[in-house]
Structure 1
Amino acid sequence: MVLKVKMGDIGVGKSPDSIETLLGSCVAIILYDRGKKIGGLAHIMLPKSRESDSKSPGKYADTAVPELLERLVKLGARRDKLVAKIAGGAAMFKANTNSIDVGKKNIDASKDELKKVGLRVSSEDTGGESGRTVVLSLKDGNVTIRKGNEVKNI
């Protein structure tokens, strides 16, 4: 089964399923326990939450990371065995050189939030100026990135 994660949402699952999302300036925060074959993906839209929006923890890097961790541990993942990967953060709205690069801010915030919980990013496919499709295979933790005709694994 393929679980499709929408903007601002979080998806978790077990092998043999996969989790997929489509990204622009948003970032996918991916965590995977290779031994248990359990993983998840948060599709964050913005770096920092506002207290008034506590109903959407997957929308922000600062709330998505703890929520994703909690859901994975409840599913049986071992926190100390999780591998972190990130993808996305494209500069999709570059009208001029002075414009705010939301993608870059999302990348930085994702890395910072993972670091706060003791996880470092093992691999990434971030930045650029085009969107990408991200697929996490829960069989092996492989993350496939599709950008136009280009396909790669991280």
Structure 2
Amino acid sequence: MKVYDTDPPTPERVKVGVAEYAVAEGESTLVTSGLGSCVGVALADPDAGVAGLAHAMLPSGNERAAAAATDGGADRPAGKYVDTAVPGLLSEMVAHGADPAGIEARLAGGSAMFDFSTADDGVGERNVAAAKAALAERDVPVVATDVGGDHGRSLTLDVATGSLSVRRAHGGTRTI
């Protein structure tokens, strides 16, 4: 009988915070929680075994450009805005061996967490629209979504398969 003195390695679990993104390889998982009006952008190249996850708060940092110029960009972390998170995530994935032509996207979040009763779209809707536009501009197909509604979500991205598990605050889990 063979005795093992160490446990087999467990897959790495990478936490992605609000206004952050991360890339992982192999058997890892990427996780984020607390998505309300924020949008989760999950990108994967299953053939290369590389995936990335962003938890973006706002569609664009353009309205903050003047502030960023005066404070050295301190208010513009790459994952905070969809318009910086998507290109940053794609660039980092390619640096880890992903083939740009093999990357596909899944989106989750973008809820209407507050009713402001205005004619303008809410932040959640604008985040989702910005993510779709940024991905289309870079020829990355969106293969599945779980967006909108009025509830929060937590996400788990399986790097090896590219599948995204979406756990909803009001109950239920869905894999897209």
Alignment TM class, shorter chain as reference: over 0.9
- CA RMSD in angstroms comes to 1.4
Structure 2 unmatched runs, 5+: 1-11
2:137 and 2:21 map into 1 onto residues whose CA distance is: 19
For the pair 1:139 / 2:160, whether they are aligned, the reply is yes
Query: 1:120 deviation in Å?
Result: 2.3
2:163 and 2:143 map into 1 onto residues whose CA distance is: 12
Query: 1:38 deviation in Å?
Result: 0.6
TM-score, normalised relative to structure 2: 0.83
For the pair 1:8 / 2:19, whether they are aligned, the reply is yes
Q: Deviations over 1:9-46 (max 9, x none)?
A: 01110121100111111001111001011100111100
Other-structure match for 1:119: 140
Runs of 4+ in 1 over 2 A off after TM superposition: none
Give the length in aligned residue pairs: 153
2:44 and 2:141 map into 1 onto residues whose CA distance is: 12
Query: 1:100 deviation in Å?
Result: 5.4
Other-structure match for 2:105: 84
Fraction of identical pairs, as percent: 36
Query: 1:68 deviation in Å?
Result: 0.4
Q: How does 1:142-153 map to 2 (within 5 A)?
A: 142-148=163-169, 149-153=171-175
Structure 1 unmatched runs, 5+: none
SS at match of 2:88: helix
Q: Larger Cα Rg: Structure 1 or Structure 2?
A: 2
TM-score, normalised relative to structure 1: 0.94
Q: Deviations over 1:126-151 (max 9, x none)?
A: 00000000110112111000013211
Other-structure match for 2:7: none
For the pair 1:97 / 2:117, whether they are aligned, the reply is yes
